Amino acid sequence: MKRLIVAALAAIGIAAGGMAQAEDFTPAVVFDMGGKFDKSFNEAAFNGAEKFAADTGIQYRDFEVTNPSMREQALRNMARRGAQVVVAMGFAQAAAVETVAQEFPETKFTLIDMVVDLPNVQSVIFKEHEGSFLVGMAAAMASQTGKVGFVGGMDIPLIRKFALGYVEGAQHVNPDIEIFQNMTGTTPSAWNDPTKGGELARSQFDRGADVVYAAAGGTGIGVYQAAKDAGKLAIGVDSNQNYIHPGTMLTSMVKRVDVAVYESFRAAKDGTWQGGIQILGLAEDGVGWALDEHNRSLVSAEMEAAIEQARTDIIAGNIAVTDYMAQ
Amino acid sequence: MEAVTWIVLVIDATLRVSTPLILAAFAGMFAERSGVVDIGLEGKMLGAAFAAAAAAFATGSAWLGLLAGMGASVGLAMIHAFACVTHRGDQVVSGMALNILVAGLGPVLSLAWFGQGGHTPIVADTARFRPIHFPFADRLSDVPFIGQIYSEIVSGHNLIVYIALGMVPLAAWFIYKTRFGLRLRAVGEAPEAVDTAGISVAGMRYRAMIVCGILCGVAGTSLSIAQNALFVRDMSAGMGYLALAALIFGKWRPVPTLFACFLFAFADAVQARLQGVDIPGVGIIPVQAIQALPYLLTVLLLAGFVGKAVPPKASGVPYVKER
């Protein structure tokens, strides 16, 4: 019996040793409020991390922040437990990243959607205004009433950036278009309030809007549902959300957070990871609009051509889209 | 004419938004009138929202969803009653504990059962309570005023909105005109008198909590499978506490409580429509100011118009028989 236990312990020891070797490189991702499966911003990061795990066989650690005070703790835990690269999702983690990155100068941090100026922090920001411009055009072309809506999550400059790009895109097609804008709230809970989102969308439909664009994380699910219930069109954000309600999802403003996360993990693994700022726009394929089998029937050839033309023009610099945060 | 349309649409939205509030506030009324403080309205709604969405998704039936929602909520109410009535525990602590329990349990169970993180899959339209359109509603919508009122305000809500509004007079009648209601009120004011009359205080309080559970269950169901099509983490978003505020605001009486719920919902509906709107003479009001409107209104009214709110005398006090 004793011998058996010793053998078992030895086997566990060997297994643990083997695991430790496989875990030599451990990337980590800390999701923000809204959660890993928000079908939007955080889920894009999850998909990127999953793809990395599938491609390389390297497991990653993850953590879902469910209240603001957990961010710093979560990042510190990841760093302390030996993660070489930690991806922090969302503008709200900037302060936490700044603190923890100074405590762990050897650990690499990739911050999505915000800039922290430290040597071991890579800040990835997107030109959401460019992508929003394109879906704004789509909205204006699909609208029968000449009125379109926008539902934002938390009222922060980043979301205003989405809104402004959308407005400019819609006005590019139809200068007289009427645009309704609503913000869900002023606290992080505004990222996860589908009931309120649905109500805001309905208030816009009541005023005559027939296309609504949600840049609101999990709150958007309520917006898309309200659009489906009312027989109107909705535009998704961050991830390609066309599949959620085929037939009433006009398109999605895709922000390639998945690529950013994947690239960050890959670069850290290959040793090519660098701190600094990365700005991803239409030219870098960091943002774009989604066209797939779910919304093919809603997008006419004319619309597609006009949007693709605008895309080329923005990349070439012929159309200037205002960046709300640079104003 | 446009102003009339605007008002009609705001009232329409008010009815929609106030539904879960009314149901939860009346649930609280039954509990507190019987002497059990129920801070766990939020948790019961959330639990019901989860159970309703999960059951509606699994069975494809909105009615079974409603039943599951009510079942979950009554179950939670019974835990609360067991802790506070049978074992005379602290009612605020027990209610808060249930809130925290459900806030964690819902997402965990969804993850275990559906594997989509903290939320359930999207429920099909056939398994939801969809808006009911009354006869001729579409044809009458062009008739000014009367037609608009009929097609927007009277018609076109989901079943639970009508249930909530129908429940209000019924609940008032129950509390004020029936023997059950008399005993309910007595047990919240002077339980020793009820006990002397040979009626079980604990029995009355248990019965009140069952009613509370049923109403919270309907409220939660309306959140997840009438207004939305899925359960997500924390989807009740503080509505249970708001209902509690409406109850205090309405001094634990049916009609004032109903109007308190309407007021909160109205403020919410108005703020959704005032964001970024250019008001003549005022200009565009900042979003933050608009969003503070419901709270501002509450403080003003509480300070100026409501007067002293006196709770049922025995509310929050566990009943101990003299030995």
Chain-chain contact of A180 with B230 (C-beta, under 8 angstroms): no
Q: What is the mean pLDDT of residues B119-123?
A: 88
Q: What is the residue-averaged pLDDT of chain B? A: 89
Helices B293-301 and B254-274: crossing angle in degrees, nearest 10, is: 150
The reply to whether A218 touches chain B by the CB within 8 Å rule is: yes
Question: For residue A173, is it within any domain?
Answer: yes
In chain A, residues with a C-beta closer than 8 Å to the C-beta of B275 are 181-183
| Same domain? A39 vs A79 | yes
ipTM metric: 0.86
Q: Which pLDDT tens digit goes with each residue over B102-116?
A: 999 998 898 889 877
DSSP symbol at B116: B
Question: For residue B318, is it within any domain?
Answer: no
| Same domain? A79 vs A111 | yes
Question: For residue B312, is it within any domain?
Answer: no
Q: Where are the beta strands (DSSP E) in chain B?
A: 131-132, 157-158, 278-279, 283-284
Question: For residue B240, is it within any domain?
Answer: yes
More confident residue, B117 or A263: A263
- Residue B123: CATH number of its domain: 1.10.3470
Label the pairing between strands A85-89 and A27-31. Answer: parallel
Helices B41-59 and B62-81: crossing angle in degrees, nearest 10, is: 150
pLDDT at A33: 81
pLDDT at A116: 93
Question: For residue A135, is it within any domain?
Answer: yes
- Give A268's Cβ-side CA count (13 Å radius): 29
| Same domain? A188 vs A80 | no
Total domains in the fold of chain A? 2
| Same domain? A99 vs A226 | no
Question: For residue A15, is it within any domain?
Answer: no
Residue range of the domain that includes B143: 2-306
**Per-residue tokens: A183:** 């913000």
pLDDT at A113: 92
- Write phi, then psi, for B168 (nearest 5 degrees): -60, -55
Q: How many CB atoms lie within 10 A of CB B103?
A: 17
| Same domain? A76 vs A138 | no
Q: What is the mean pLDDT of residues B67-79?
A: 97
Compute CA distances A95 → A88, A157, A200, whole Å: 11, 16, 31
The pLDDT > 70 percentage for chain B reads: 98
Q: How many CB atoms lie within 10 A of CB A107?
A: 22
Chain-chain contact of B118 with A37 (C-beta, under 8 angstroms): yes
* Interfacial B residues in 260-289 facing A (CB < 8 Å): 268-269, 272-273, 275-276, 287-288
- Nearest CB to B223; choose among A195, A206, A207: A195
- Nearest CB to B273; choose among A36, A192, A203: A203
Q: Cα–Cα distance between A19 and A190 in angstroms, integer?
A: 41
Three-state SS for B296?
helix
pLDDT at A21: 42
Q: How many CB atoms lie within 10 A of CB B29?
A: 28
The reply to whether A239 touches chain B by the CB within 8 Å rule is: no
| Same domain? A226 vs A320 | yes
Chain-chain contact of A198 with B16 (C-beta, under 8 angstroms): no
Residue of B nearest to A37 (CA): B117
CB pairs under 8 A between A and B: 80
Question: For residue B321, is it within any domain?
Answer: no
**Which pTM does this prediction carry?**
0.85
Residue of A nearest to B110 (CA): A37
Three-state SS for B187?
helix
pLDDT tens, position by position, for chain A (327 residues)?
566 565 555 555 544 444 444 447 899 999 988 778 888 889 999 999 999 999 999 999 999 887 888 899 999 999 999 899 999 999 999 999 999 999 999 999 999 999 999 999 999 999 999 999 999 999 999 999 999 999 999 999 999 999 999 999 999 999 999 999 999 988 888 888 999 999 999 999 988 999 999 999 889 999 999 999 999 999 999 989 999 999 999 999 999 999 999 999 999 999 999 999 999 999 999 999 999 999 999 999 999 999 999 999 999 999 999 999 887
- Nearest CB to B228; choose among A155, A195, A203: A195
Chain-chain contact of A195 with B117 (C-beta, under 8 angstroms): no
In chain B, residues with a C-beta closer than 8 Å to the C-beta of A32 are none
Question: For residue B102, is it within any domain?
Answer: yes
pLDDT band at B142 (very low <50, low <70, confident <90, very high): confident
What DSSP line would sit under A171-223, residue for residue?
HHH-TT-EEEEEEEESSGGGGS-HHHHHHHHHHHHHTT--EEEEE-GGGHHHH
| Same domain? A149 vs A245 | yes
Q: Cα–Cα distance between A61 and A311 in angstroms, integer?
A: 37
Smallest CA–CA distance, residue B79 to chain A, in Å, is 26
pLDDT at B323: 56
Question: For residue B323, is it within any domain?
Answer: no
Three-state SS for A249?
strand
Question: For residue A19, is it within any domain?
Answer: no
Residue range of the domain that includes A309: 129-255+295-326
Q: Cα–Cα distance between B119 and B107 in angstroms, integer?
A: 6
**Angle subtended at Cα B56 by Cα B50 and Cα B244, rounded to the nearest 5 degrees:** 35
- Nearest CB to B235; choose among A180, A181, A194: A194
Q: Is there a contact between B158 and B222 (Cβ–Cβ < 8 Å)?
A: yes
pLDDT at A46: 93
Total domains in the fold of chain B? 1
- Bridge partners of B157, per DSSP, are B132
- Nearest CB to A203; choose among B228, B234, B272: B272
| Same domain? A79 vs A214 | no
| Same domain? A195 vs A80 | no
Chain-chain contact of A37 with B116 (C-beta, under 8 angstroms): yes
Question: For residue B37, is it within any domain?
Answer: yes
In chain B, residues with a C-beta closer than 8 Å to the C-beta of A155 are 287-288
| Same domain? A208 vs A302 | yes
pLDDT band at B1 (very low <50, low <70, confident <90, very high): low
| Same domain? A172 vs A300 | yes
Nearest to B266 by CA among B7, B27, B45: B7
The reply to whether A181 touches chain B by the CB within 8 Å rule is: yes
Min mean pLDDT across A253-262, B78-87, B128-137, B176-185 is at B128-137
In chain B, residues with a C-beta closer than 8 Å to the C-beta of A36 are 117
To test the contact with chain B by mutation, choose from A195, A202, A204 the residue with the greatest count of B C-beta atoms within 10 A, namely: A195
In chain B, residues with a C-beta closer than 8 Å to the C-beta of A37 are 116-119
pLDDT at B177: 95
**Per-residue tokens: B323:** 């030995």
Q: What is the mean pLDDT of residues B234-259?
A: 90
Question: For residue B156, is it within any domain?
Answer: yes
Q: Is there a contact between A76 and A103 (Cβ–Cβ < 8 Å)?
A: yes
Q: What is the mean pLDDT of residues B116-142?
A: 83
pLDDT at A16: 46
- Nearest CB to B117; choose among A35, A181, A244: A35
Chain-chain contact of B291 with A180 (C-beta, under 8 angstroms): no
The reply to whether B166 touches chain A by the CB within 8 Å rule is: no
Q: Cα–Cα distance between B288 and B247 in angstroms, integer?
A: 26
- Sequence-distant (6+) residues with CB within 8 A of B239 are B20, B21, B24, B42, B45, B219, B223
The reply to whether A206 touches chain B by the CB within 8 Å rule is: yes
DSSP H helical segments within chain A, as ranges?
2-22, 41-56, 70-80, 94-103, 128-142, 157-173, 194-206, 220-230, 257-270, 301-316
Q: Cα–Cα distance between A114 and B140 in angstroms, integer?
A: 52
pLDDT at B252: 92
The pLDDT > 90 percentage for chain B reads: 58
- Residue A38: CATH number of its domain: 3.40.50.2300
| Same domain? A100 vs A191 | no
Chain-chain contact of A182 with B227 (C-beta, under 8 angstroms): no
pLDDT at A3: 61
